[in-house]
């Protein structure tokens, strides 16, 4: 069976990507031994599917389009990015930008419903949507100093969601994954 590692994502505007990349030269991030995400890989995961049989990709595409159509007249498209912190909260091993967005939260819920109805498998069925952008991963063995465990940096970035993407993730040993946009779906 031929499979691809798939997720549904929101792209991030170039100005916000630049602001995120500028963080690696700021305290305390500059002193943590971590690998920063490449600019072209920065995104918000709406729903991670994992390995999907390539025969299901046309059905997946059709269902993502159907869900996207429900949001064409959505007035509130705002995505708010308000904090840089360490995550995930149960095992700190990344630097995240977190925030909130009703449209992304609702897209995630609708995609889950549609995928379940159509037997398109996805990961973390029970987990609530948590808006975050992974901007760096700690190098193996790095433990965050205790004084930084509750650290957060307030930011005030926002953008209007105009499209979503069906993405393929190709894992590469000892390197960052390669992300390929399989399809972009307009929300306007």
What is the reported pTM?
Answer: 0.93
- 157-184 pLDDT, tens digit per residue, is 999 999 999 999 999 887 888 999 999 9
Please state the domain count of the chain. Answer: 1
CATH classification of the domain holding 171: 3.90.1140.10
The domain of 92 spans 3-186
- 108-144 pLDDT, tens digit per residue, is 999 999 999 999 999 988 889 999 999 999 888 888 8
Tell me if the bond preceding 149 is cis, omega within 30° of 0: no
- 7-41 pLDDT, tens digit per residue, is 999 999 999 999 999 999 988 988 888 999 999 99
Q: For residue 118, which phi and psi values (nearest 5 degrees)?
A: -105, 15
pLDDT higher than 70, residue 1: no
């Amino acid at each position: 069976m031929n499979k691809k590692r798939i997720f549904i994502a929101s792209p991030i505007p170039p100005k916000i990507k630049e602001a995120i990349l500028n963080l690696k030269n700021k305290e305390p991030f500059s002193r943590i031994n971590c690998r920063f995400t490449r600019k072209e890989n920065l995104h918000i995961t709406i729903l991670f599917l994992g390995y999907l049989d390539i025969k299901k990709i046309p059905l997946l595409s059709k269902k993502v389009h159907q869900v996207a159509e429900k949001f064409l007249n959505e007035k509130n498209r705002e995505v708010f990015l308000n904090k840089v912190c360490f995550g995930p909260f149960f095992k700190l091993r990344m630097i995240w930008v977190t925030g909130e967005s009703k449209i992304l939260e609702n897209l995630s819920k609708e995609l889950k419903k549609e995928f379940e109805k159509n037997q398109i498998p996805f990961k973390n069925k029970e987990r609530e949507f948590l808006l975050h952008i992974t901007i760096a991963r700690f190098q193996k063995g790095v433990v965050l100093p205790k004084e930084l465990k509750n650290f957060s940096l307030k930011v005030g970035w926002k953008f209007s969601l105009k499209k979503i993407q069906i993405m393929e993730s190709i894992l590469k040993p000892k390197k960052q994954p390669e992300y390929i946009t399989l399809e972009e779906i307009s929300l306007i």
